[in-house]
Chain A
Amino acid sequence: MIERAHWFDRLTYGALIVGAILVCMPIYYAVIVASMPDGSESDAVYLLPGGHLFENLANAWNKEGLGRQLFNSGVMAVGVTVGKIAISLLSAFAITYFRFRFRMTAFWLIFITLMLPVEVRIVPTFEVAANALAPFQAIIDLLAIERVAGWLAGHEVDINLEWSLLDSYTGLILPLIASATATFLFRQFFLTVPEELCEAAKIDGAGPMRFFFRILLPMSTTSMAALAVILFIFGWNQYLWPLLITTEPEMTTVVIGVARTLPTEDADAQWNLTMATAILATLPPVAVVLLLQRWFVKGLVDAEK
């Protein structure tokens, strides 16, 4: 739409500027606070930088464990991103291209999980993560296999399966990996791929997996990149799940690290350090966005069919 009216231009610019200020203000203020010297008033409002930004950043960086936390967050975010994309590509491929019994059931099951984010299912998820073999243990208990084994062996048998995912990368990543949203996105994309392409591949002699890897995957790169940006930020920003599943300091993520720098009752507030840590924690997602932004826009607009 081309609108020539002058007042309309001004209105849109006005709205943009107000919006930009609203979005940028907290970030600006974080930078300002991060540049304040140690021991500044915590409830004073500053508008101009205090000149200690790099000093504070260096302090935050040198604080024990920050590097490790950033690394943990990185592993978790990348793991969640890669895992989610891989799983949802495959499941979207299955529900779009294969006709099998209970296909629609599978489809709706995936759909329903949209309504169950981690926060809702956190207790059962934690229980499974604490012992990933618990369901098998339940089956063993139910079938009284211990007693059967005991009768066979002639003495008492105790079967205890245990595989804890606590304080591990697997535990951090795996429970977050299923994604209905991404599955839907890829399904929608696959539906726009003309059926003849699949048939041409069949005649060319490509089996299903070859069709998937050689034709569908290369065609989905833009949507994968767009999704990767969103999912990386999602993985990076996870708070509740890492908080629950990690107890050891060397397994915590940086978001929790930031939270731990918040003042407690018996310690002095060091807002400048907190903000400096927060800034450092923001940099990797910003880098990912900047790096992939061209793909991101292309994937969302998707002019290329």
Chain B
Amino acid sequence: MADVEIRNVYKSYGDTQVIHGVSVFIRDGEFVVIVGPSGCGKSTLLRMIAGLEAITSGDIAIDGRVVNEVEPKDRDIAMVFQNYALYPHMTVAQNMSFGLRLRRLSKREVADRLRRAAEILQLSELMDRKPRQLSGGQRQRVAMGRAIVRDPAAFLFDEPLSNLDAKLRVQMRLEIKKLHRELGATSIYVTHDQVEAMTMADRLIVMNAGIAEQVGAPLDIYECPASAYVAGFIGSPAMNFLACEVTGDGRAVHLNGSGELALNGNGATAGGGVATAGIRPEHIAVCGGEDADLHVTATMVEPLGADTLVHGALAHDGAAAGPELTIRLPGIVRIQAGEQLPLRIDRDRIHLFDAERGTRIN
């Protein structure tokens, strides 16, 4: 068990810089998820913590010890890979104990740890099988078993569930979370799947193009994204962005073709000028004609049962011409494509972002 500190870490490959200064402190026992689109540097960051990539500048410390020059095997970490990376010619037991045997642990100790890990992961029946005789979920469990037996200071997960089918992914997600609660080990988990990120993390690190855009608890990030990028990345369907004009006192905005919308209690820090308004699909409701802030012409309706997604284009003077908008309506709502809908926006939940830099301004 240990904390992990990343201090101003940079990474370059030749002239190309891919990580532009990331600093995060990960507390002992915390489950931190690094999320971002492919190519944002999240895996590189994790591999630097593991010691599989050199650190160009900055420090990484595990349990207070700077490990920049320490070999992966001496960092007291365990890693679970996306494709599991099981040794194909070894049995499950051999796979899990390989690292322990290299460390010259006593036979008894190895057997003890194996048995405990096998019980936790329900692998006891499979210990003599080869990886190719296992299903995807079982292989995933073996890969985790290999990490658990090491009893490491920190677990590193590199998109461990992306090779599994959807149902198994949900199941394994819960299992990993449960496991974390049992073991209480510091865990760093990389994923591009925002559902995994939201459900598993104690804290989220949202990465974009080599920097950590925002670090915080999942719901805090959801409710108060620090930038238009984070706002658009977290949440599904994605947040709607509309150009808007902020009034001089910063207390209200004019959306594209709407009247004045008072920003109750979350006015802009600076008044006047153009900004981007972010509105989550679930913060828009269909209303009576006279209360409407905006009108939308539905172009596509996706009934999901629990809720209904309506895609539409903002209507100007009865013609659908404006930017696209997605609306999430609770329950089953019968709407036909082509229908015009009067909409009301939840004024408490309008996010304002700087039109150029994308940073939050309310």
Contacts and interface: CB of A to CB of B under 8 A. Distances in A.
**A, B: real partners:** yes
Contacts of B71: 202
Contacts of B103: 205
B316 to A, nearest CB: 54
A305 B87 CA distance: 11
Contacts, number: 59
B89 interface: yes
Among A196, A204, A215, the one with the most B-chain Cβ atoms within 10 Å of its Cβ is A204
A185 interface: no
Contacts of A202: 51-52, 71-73
B81 A199 contact: yes
A215 B88 CA distance: 9
A203 B89 contact: no
Nearest to A200: B85
A196 B83 contact: yes
A294 interface: no
A149 to B, nearest CB: 48
Given A210-B102, A304-B132, A203 B79 contact: yes
Interface residues of B, number: 23
Interface in A36-57: none
Given A218-B89, A219-B89, A203 B73 contact: yes
B322 interface: no
Contacts of B146: 200, 204
Contacts of B82: 196
Nearest to A210: B102
A157 interface: no
A218 B88 CA distance: 9
Contacts of B50: 199, 203
Contact of A194 (B72, B85, B99, B132): B85
B200 to A, nearest CB: 22
A197 interface: yes
A137 B273 CA distance: 87
Interface string B72-95: 110001110111011111000000
Among A194, A197, A202, A205, the one with the most B-chain Cβ atoms within 10 Å of its Cβ is A205
Nearest to A305: B88
A203 B72 contact: yes
What's the interface size class on A, roughly? 10 to 19
A206 B86 CA distance: 14
B88 A204 contact: no
Contacts of B132: 304
B98 interface: yes
Nearest to B102: A205
Contacts of B99: 203-205
Contacts of B72: 199, 202-203
Contacts of A305: 88
A215 B85 CA distance: 12
A215 B102 contact: no
A304 B88 contact: yes
A298 to B, nearest CB: 14
A204 B73 contact: yes
Contacts of A210: 102
Nearest to A206: B102
B73 A199 contact: no
Interface in A166-222: 194, 196-197, 199-206, 210, 214-215, 218-219
Contacts of B78: 203
Given A219-B88, A219-B89, A200 B79 contact: yes
A194 B78 CA distance: 18
Contacts of A194: 83, 85
Nearest to B147: A203
A203 B83 contact: no
B87 to A, nearest CB: 6
A295 to B, nearest CB: 14
Nearest to A195: B85
Among A196, A203, A210, the one with the most B-chain Cβ atoms within 10 Å of its Cβ is A203
A58 B299 CA distance: 93
A197 B79 CA distance: 12
Contact of A199 (B52, B86, B87, B88): B52
A218 to B, nearest CB: 4
Nearest to B130: A304
Nearest to A217: B89
B101 to A, nearest CB: 9
10 contacts: A196-B85, A199-B50, A201-B87, A202-B51, A202-B52, A202-B72, A203-B79, A205-B103, A219-B87, A219-B88
Interface of A: 194, 196-197, 199-206, 210, 214-215, 218-219, 304-305
The 10 closest A-B pairs by CB, nearest first: A204-B99, A205-B73, A196-B85, A200-B85, A218-B89, A196-B81, A205-B102, A203-B72, A202-B72, A197-B85
Interface of B: 50-52, 71-73, 77-79, 81-83, 85-89, 98-99, 102-103, 132, 146
Given A203-B77, A219-B89, 6 more contacts: A199-B72, A200-B81, A202-B73, A204-B102, A215-B89, A219-B87
